[in-house]
Amino acid sequence: MKITKELIERYHQGQCSPEEQDIVEQWLDSDEVEMSFPENADLNAMEDKGWKKISSRYHIPEPLEPRKVVKLYNYRIILQFAACIMLVLSTFFYVNTKLKNENHNPTLAYKEVKTLKGQKLSVSLPDGTIVWMNAESILRFPVSFKGHLRELEFSGEAYFNVAKDRSKPFVIHTAKTKVQVLGTRFNLRALVAETATSVVVEEGKVQFSGNSGKQQQILTANNRGVFGTDASGAFSMKTELVHAGKYTAWKNNELLFDNLTMDEVAQVLERWYNVKITINRPELRKERYTGSFNNPALSQVLESMGFAVKFNYKQHGQGFVLY
């Protein structure tokens, strides 16, 4: 086979067949190379002794680095395919993780409603439950009930008319207790200023317990449960049979006093009318009073009490002094 410029260029570019490669390499090792070297051939890739002979004879400078042709198109296809696979997998794991987080760790938006002294308010919850809030109460609940429970937080006094949903119990958390129902009507009193928490059931059943779960009672209509501390300071739960209407009358603006001391009466009046009541006579503090009023003015209440318990009163700004 004749050595041509084209053959040597193919050898240089790595495009020779095995037979052609052997012929060129034999030619390069022979002395014939000096006589038969084709004019103007491209020798940049020759690295053996034949190249040295030819480059020195024909004054061709030695290349800094031999050129080697590497076929990359297959690798490009593989890399592009791998990149597509990684993109698909990354998207899958991102979406899957996001869905899991939403299902198992939902970030709930909450709403908080407060009432001040002298204020009452009716609130509708997302499930249809109606809550009548008495003065100085705080209700915190999610804008939508998700999961297996309808949970909320409460302090103060409120009457709950809970929408029935047997698949999703309704749970109220107070500072010291937990109330759980499926659908019922009851009054919950958990005032910050009082040490005891009480529940009075008007209709249905209520599970009433301390936060530890050790003290627990099932209350039915006209049952009152009271959770507090006994003489030793230990938490205790007691129940009694009552007339539920007496404990829920406040939501209809009926003011009831059932054998309360005047100190206790003063606290009720302060919450109901948003005023300050001061009792100047020490013996008057322990006097007891029973009475009822339907949406009364404060002056009407004080006049009636003063007649029954024998005291006078005077007003100082937003406060009243009993003497």
Number of domains in the chain: 3
Q: Which of 81-95, 187-201, 255-269, 280-294 has the lowest mean pLDDT?
A: 81-95
- Report the percent of the chain where pLDDT is more than 90: 60
pLDDT computed for residue 290 by the predictor:
97
> Residue by residue, what is the 3-state secondary structure of the chain?
CCCCHHHHHHHHCCCCCHHHHHHHHHHHHCCCHHHHCCCCCCCCCCCCHHHHHHHHHCCCCCCCCCCCCCCCHHHHHHHHHHHHHHHHHHHHHHHHHHHHHHHHCCCCCEEEEECCCCCCEEEECCCCCEEEECCCCEEEEECCCCCCCEEEEEEEEEEEECCCCCCCCEEEECCCEEEEECCCEEEEEECCCCCCEEEEEEECCEEEEECCCCCEEEECCCEEEEEEECCCCCEEEEEEECCHHHHHHHHHCEEEEEEEEHHHHHHHHHHHHCCEEEECCHHHHCCEEEEEEECCCHHHHHHHHHHHHCCCEEEECCEEEEC
pLDDT band at 246 (very low <50, low <70, confident <90, very high): very high
Domain boundary residue among 226, 248, 270?
A: 248
Domain that holds residue 283: 253-322
pLDDT computed for residue 66 by the predictor:
45
- 276 and 232 part of one domain: no
pLDDT computed for residue 314 by the predictor:
95
pLDDT computed for residue 4 by the predictor:
72
| pLDDT above 80: residue 86 | no
**315's tokens:** 């007003």
pLDDT band at 98 (very low <50, low <70, confident <90, very high): very low
pLDDT band at 94 (very low <50, low <70, confident <90, very high): very low
More confident residue, 67 or 26: 26
pLDDT computed for residue 80 by the predictor:
60
- 50 and 145 part of one domain: no
pLDDT band at 81 (very low <50, low <70, confident <90, very high): low
Q: Which of 55-64, 117-126, 163-172, 191-200 has the lowest mean pLDDT?
A: 55-64
pLDDT computed for residue 30 by the predictor:
63
More confident residue, 95 or 9: 9
- 154 and 282 part of one domain: no
- 243 and 118 part of one domain: yes
pLDDT computed for residue 106 by the predictor:
53
User: What is the arithmetic mean of pLDDT over 180-202?
Assistant: 95
- pTM value is 0.66
- 49 and 136 part of one domain: no
- 123 and 200 part of one domain: yes
- 129 and 193 part of one domain: yes
CATH code of 198's domain: 2.60.120.1440
pLDDT computed for residue 76 by the predictor:
54
User: What is the arithmetic mean of pLDDT over 14-43?
Assistant: 63
pLDDT computed for residue 18 by the predictor:
82
Please report whether residue 78 resides in a domain.
no
Rounded to the nearest integer, the mean pLDDT of the chain is 82
| pLDDT single digits (tens) 295-306 | 999 999 999 999
- 243 and 272 part of one domain: no
CATH code of 272's domain: 3.55.50.30
